[in-house]
Amino acid sequence: MAKNLIRLGKYTVELKDGGEPEEFCDDMEKFVKVERLDDSSPKENEVDWTPDELVKAANNQFSLKPPDLIGTSEKLWMGAVYTVKLYFLRFKVLGKSPESLKKMVKAALHGLDESIELYEAWLFAEDFHKYSNGLIHFSKKDFQSRMKEVENFIVKFSQIDEEAGSRAAGKIMADVEKCEAKKGTIQLGKRRYGYDYIVH
């Protein structure tokens, strides 16, 4: 199937010239029903995914005989990404790339007692993203221990207090080279969230 296929009402279009599908869909949904049709829009989009639901799905896939390690990896990565995005959307800041999310994680963890452990857990989440794409491999024992670390990250990161989060968001917004003032909305699961800044 061609990449970036999108259904607009009764029409199917292909987004070209390096357009951002997520941004395009967000804009067009104000006027017409939009449905992503390419491989990046799996059936999971029909579920009201939350970080907790993604962790539950990851555990279900890991408990299969044999375990679905690719599916587990994908859900763990998505759970970590959703956790960071949802946390910073409280401050109207949206991370658009894995690199921007890593920067946001560093900023939020700065000065916290568990900063080293939680940042390492974020790196494990990145490893699961690579694992799901066949870029790296590790043993089932390592897989399971890293899985627990990512699950812990998903719980603990969302509990970082508002004051620390506000400081982190302010620091990120001050980086004019990486942070752009731009209002919009994004859909995560079945909910939409507003943002005033995008971190590239």
Residues 30 and 51 in one domain: no
Instruction: Tell me what pLDDT residue 121 has.
Output: 98
Instruction: Tell me what pLDDT residue 102 has.
Output: 96
Q: Structural domain of residue 17, as residue ranges?
A: 5-41
Instruction: Tell me what pLDDT residue 49 has.
Output: 85
Domain count, the chain: 2
Distance CA 140, CA 106 (A): 28
Instruction: Tell me what pLDDT residue 188 has.
Output: 87
Residues 99 and 187 in one domain: yes
Residues 79 and 137 in one domain: yes
Query: pLDDT digit string (tens) for 83-134?
Result: 999 999 999 999 999 999 999 999 999 989 999 999 999 999 999 999 999 9
Residues 119 and 87 in one domain: yes
CATH number at residue 78: 1.20.120
Distance CA 127, CA 106 (A): 17
Q: What 3-state class would DSSP assign to 191?
A: strand
Residues 161 and 95 in one domain: yes
Residues 29 and 52 in one domain: no
Residues 108 and 28 in one domain: no
Residues 86 and 174 in one domain: yes
C-beta neighbour count of 119 within 10 angstroms: 18
Residues 65 and 162 in one domain: yes
Residues 23 and 54 in one domain: no
The per-type count for the chain, helices as H runs and strands as E runs, is 7, 6
Residues 35 and 80 in one domain: no
**With a cut of 50, which residues of the chain have pLDDT below it?**
1, 31, 39-45
Residues 82 and 144 in one domain: yes
